[in-house]
């Protein structure tokens, strides 16, 4: 399958699957480990991918949340993300996609401007999170957040759906008018 669709498979009982897409393997692995260490009532499955489309040979469960990890230090990761975004179905962007920008701590190394990410997140109407994945403490906090988001997107939290969460997370800061 070349395009990821959110609801084409039935959900497994008590299982939530998250897909982390990014070019930095080490960071993704560390984030995945932190997430799996989190205390969660449902079973977590973390899939890592460098880019989309995913090979169709693997039998994988329904993906509940896609996180695009963009490293602000490398333009290549942004390019990779933009190309991967084409392979995601439009109905995924109703709350099941999230952008994670890492490396904002070291301003001097950043080659991608923060505005670019804000514009990207605004175009795709998805939440944008900032986290320095190299720092242990921030990573653990972000892992907690992602686990909670994943639970909501997978439907494990009664009363809150992915779309609901999206409208709650909507930030009032959009790209400024000069940039649009």
d(CA 5, CA 100) in angstroms, rounded, equals 21
Q: Where are the alpha helices (DSSP H) in 20-179?
A: 25-37, 75-85, 114-123, 136-153, 162-169
Number of residues that bind other proteins (CB under 8 A): 43
Buried-state track 12-30, b at ≥16 Cβ within 10 A, e below 16:
eeeebbbbbbbbbeebbeb
List 53, 134, 148, 169, residue binding other proteins (CB under 8 A) = 53
Judged by CB, which is closer to other proteins: 25, or 106?
25
79 binds other proteins (CB under 8 A): no
Buried-state track 32-49, b at ≥16 Cβ within 10 A, e below 16:
bebbeeeebebebbbbee
169 binds other proteins (CB under 8 A): no
Touching other proteins, residues 86-125 (CB under 8 A): 91, 125
Per DSSP bridges, beta strands 65-71 and 97-102 are parallel
Judged by CB, which is closer to other proteins: 91, or 141?
91
Judged by CB, which is closer to other proteins: 40, or 110?
40
Judged by CB, which is closer to other proteins: 135, or 168?
168
Which residues in this chain contact other proteins in the complex, by CB under 8 A?
1-2, 7, 11, 13-14, 25, 32, 36, 39-56, 58, 60, 91, 125, 154-159, 161-164, 167, 170
């Amino acid at each position: 399958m070349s395009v990821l669709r959110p609801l084409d498979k039935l959900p497994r009982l008590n299982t939530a699957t998250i897909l982390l897409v990014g070019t930095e393997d080490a960071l993704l692995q560390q984030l995945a480990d932190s997430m799996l260490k989190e205390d969660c009532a449902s079973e977590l499955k973390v899939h890592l991918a460098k880019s989309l489309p995913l090979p169709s040979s693997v039998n994988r469960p329904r993906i509940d949340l896609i996180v695009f990890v963009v490293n602000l230090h490398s333009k290549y990761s942004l390019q990779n993300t933009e190309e991967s975004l084409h392979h995601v179905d439009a109905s995924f962007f109703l709350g099941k996609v999230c952008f994670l920008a890492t490396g904002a701590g070291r301003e001097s190394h950043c080659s991608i401007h923060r505005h670019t990410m804000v514009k990207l997140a605004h175009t795709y109407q998805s939440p944008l999170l900032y986290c320095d994945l190299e720092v242990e403490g921030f990573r653990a906090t972000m892992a907690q957040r992602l686990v909670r988001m994943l639970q909501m997107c997978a439907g494990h939290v009664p009363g809150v759906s992915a779309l609901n969460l999206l409208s709650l997370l909507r930030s009032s800061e959009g790209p400024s008018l000069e940039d649009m």
